[in-house]
Structure 1
Amino acid sequence: MAEKEQGCELFSAGHRACGGCGPALAARLLLKATGKDVIIVASTGCMEVFSTPYPETAWEVPWIHSLFENAAAVASGIEASLKRQGRSEKVVCICGDGATFDIGVLCISGAFERGHDITYICYDNEAYMNTGIQRSGATPYGASTTTSPAGTCSPGNLLPKKDMPAILAAHGAPYVA
Structure 2
Amino acid sequence: MAIPDEEFLLKTTSACAGCPSSLILRYVTKAAGADTVLVIPACCTSVIQGVYPTTAMNIPVYNVAFASAAAVASGMSEAFRAEGRKTNVICYAGDGGTIDIGIQALSGALERGTDFLYICYDNEAYSNTGMQRSGATPLGAMTTTTPGGKKDQKKDLDAIVAAHNPVYQATACAAYPQDLYNKVEKALSIPGPKFMHVLAPCPPGWRFPSEKTIEMGKLAVKSGLWVLYERENGKLSITGASKAAMKKRIPVEDYLSVQGRFRKITAAETAEVQKTVEDTIARLQREVDGIC
TM-score by length of 1: 0.91
- Kindly state the Cα deviation for residue 71 of structure 1 after the two structures are TM-superposed: 0.5
Structure 1: which amino acid aligns with 2:40?
Answer: A
Aligned to 2:150: 157
Aligned to 2:168: 175
Aligned to 2:105: 107
1:88 and 1:55 map into 2 onto residues whose CA distance is 26
Q: Which has the larger radius of gyration?
A: 2
- Kindly state the Cα deviation for residue 54 of structure 1 after the two structures are TM-superposed: 4.2
TM-score by length of 2: 0.56
Structure 1: which amino acid aligns with 2:51?
Answer: P
Cα offsets for 1:5-28 (capped at 9, x unmatched)? 933211111111112211101111
Task: Pick one of 122, 125, 150 that aligns with 2:123.
Answer: 125
Matches within 5 A, 1:73-84: 73-84=71-82
Structure 2: which amino acid aligns with 1:162?
Answer: K
* Count of aligned positions: 170
- Kindly state the Cα deviation for residue 46 of structure 1 after the two structures are TM-superposed: 0.4
Alignment partner of 1:18 is 2:16: yes
Cα offsets for 1:114-151 (capped at 9, x unmatched)? 1101111111111101111110000011111111111x
1:138 and 1:6 map into 2 onto residues whose CA distance is 32
Task: Pick one of 139, 143, 166 that aligns with 2:159.
Answer: 166
1:61 and 1:139 map into 2 onto residues whose CA distance is 31
- Kindly state the Cα deviation for residue 55 of structure 1 after the two structures are TM-superposed: 4.0
Q: SS where residue 176 of structure 1 aligns? A: strand
Q: SS where residue 115 of structure 1 aligns? A: coil
2:23 and 2:123 map into 1 onto residues whose CA distance is 14
Cα offsets for 1:37-64 (capped at 9, x unmatched)? 1111011110110113244211111110
**Percent identity for Structure 1 against Structure 2:** 48
1:165 and 1:48 map into 2 onto residues whose CA distance is 24
Aligned to 1:34: 32
Aligned to 2:58: 60
Question: Does structure 1 conserve the Cα–Cα contact (< 8 Å) formed by 2:9 and 2:56?
Answer: yes
Q: SS where residue 159 of structure 1 aligns? A: coil
Structure 2: which amino acid aligns with 1:49?
Answer: V
Task: Pick one of 85, 89, 92 that aligns with 2:90.
Answer: 92
Cα offsets for 1:86-112 (capped at 9, x unmatched)? 101111010001001100000000000
